[in-house]
Structure 1
Amino acid sequence: MIKVMLADDQALVRGGLAALLSFESDLEVVAEVGSGDDVVDVARRTRPDVVLMDVEMPAKDGITATADVTAAIPDVRVLIVTTFGRPGYLRRGLQAGAAGFVVKDTPARELAAAIRRVHVGLRVVDPSLAADSLVSGESPLTTRESEVLREARAGGTVSDVAKRMFLSEGTIRNHLSSAIGKTGARNRAEAVTIADNNGWL
């Protein structure tokens, strides 16, 4: 029996996945969590073989939670299952230690097969997303530029972003200017959109 844990902030999605997987005789859902913050603690208690991980969750995103759980429990395999099929998410997810990456519209049979494959040590990646990832390449942004754009996405003036990040306004302006140039955007809002759509944030 392959023990599966579901990590998704939407209860309806978790319930749907649990119901679909219950039809598979060799898969058992042993835990469900709605926040990235809870992944490691619950995984330690329930010892799943595979964690199905959403990307966008409150408190801690699924990519960070993937890195945390694979570091804390190395024998756990993570399969990222997300609505957001963005090339940057794929690259960052795999770098964080995920064994696979599929989108939520994957048919139930294919999802079950993907769980079995990552459980035995194989890697599973949505083929169209893999192709997009090769075309889009690595994020051109530095870690700090990504952080500044994430804060800018939350809204507010340069001064507001500077206060939240404990940096000077001049430093924030420099990072924003660099990020705008690297993304080919015309302004801050467009840079955030481009970076977000590519999964770089």
Structure 2
Amino acid sequence: MIRVLVADDQALVRGALAAMLDMEADLEVVARAGDGAEAVEAARRTRPDVALVDVRMPGTDGLSAAAGLVRAVPGCRVLMCTTFGRPGYLARAMAAGASGFVVKDASPEYLVDAVRRVHRGLRVVDPGLAAESLAYGVSPLTEREGQVLAAARGGASAAEIAVRLHLAEGTVRNHLSAAIGKTGARSRLEAVAIAEDRGWL
């Protein structure tokens, strides 16, 4: 029997996923959670084999929860399941230790099979999302450009970024300009959004 935890902030979706998985003879939903922190706590109590986790949840999101689950219950495999199939989410989920990434519009059969496959130690990634991620390739940003661009989240000024990263303001402007050029953006905030979407930050 494969013990499964389902984490999704929408009660209806959480219930539907749990009901669907419980219909399988070899799957048993042992816990449900409405956010990432709750998922990690439930996993500590119930020791699931697989955690099916939504990416976007209030408070502790699914990406942070994935890292927490891997630390809290090392034997638990994490399968991200989301409406938002973006290369950036895929890259961050895999970096957090997730074993798979599927989108919610996948067929029930595909989702059930994905749970079984990650339980066996295999990686499962939505094919369309994998192809999109490969198309974007490796980040063109240097390490420092990535740091400066990440610090620009939320609209921080060049002066604020310079203080935070202990750089000269002119150096920050140069890195931001290079990052904007490499992402094909028109502004630093657009560059942040593009880099995040493509998994470069």
**SS of corresponding position for 2:58:** coil
Secondary structure of 1:139 counterpart: coil
Instruction: Provide, for residues 145-185 of structure 1, a one-character-per-residue CA deviation record: whole Å limited to 9, x for no partner.
Output: 6676566554x5528975xx697893765654343233121
Give the TM-score normalised by structure 2: 0.81
- Report the structure number with the largest CA radius of gyration: 2
1:5 shift after superposition: 0.7
User: What secondary structure does 1:185 align onto?
Assistant: coil
Question: Gaps spanning 5+ residues in structure 1: where?
Answer: none
The answer to whether the aligner puts 1:8 opposite 2:12 as a matched pair is: no
Give the corresponding residue for 1:158: 157
Q: What displacement does 1:97 show?
A: 1.5
Paired with 1:105 and 1:18, the residues of 2 have a C-alpha distance of: 16
Instruction: Give the equivalent residue in structure 1 for 2:75.
Output: 75
AA partner of residue 191 (structure 2): A
Counterpart of 1:192, as a letter, is V
Q: Which moved more, 1:135-144 or 1:88-97?
A: 135-144
Q: 1:82 to 1:143 in 2, by over 3 A?
A: farther
Q: For 1:17 and 1:144, how far apart are their aligned partners in 2?
A: 42
The 8 Å contact of residues 66 and 78 in structure 2, kept in 1 or not, is answered as yes
Structure 2 spans left out of the alignment, 5+ residues: none
2:89 touches 2:197 (CA, 8 Å); kept in 1?
no
8 Å Cα contact 1:3-1:27 kept in structure 2: yes
Change (3 A) 1:5 1:146: farther
Which secondary structure does the structure 2 equivalent of 1:102 belong to? strand
C-alpha separation between the residues in 2 aligned to 1:182 and 1:111?
Answer: 36
**What is the TM-score with the length of structure 1 in the denominator?**
0.81
Match of 1:86 in 2: 86
Residue 48 of structure 1: aligned partner: 48
Question: What value does the CA root-mean-square deviation take over the aligned residues?
Answer: 2.9
2:57 and 2:83 mapped to 1: Cα distance? 12
Give SS of 1:19's match: helix
d(CA) in 2 for partners of 1:45, 1:24: 23
Does the 8 Å CA contact 1:64/1:96 hold for their aligned counterparts?
A: yes
- Residues 133-142 or 104-113, more deviating: 133-142
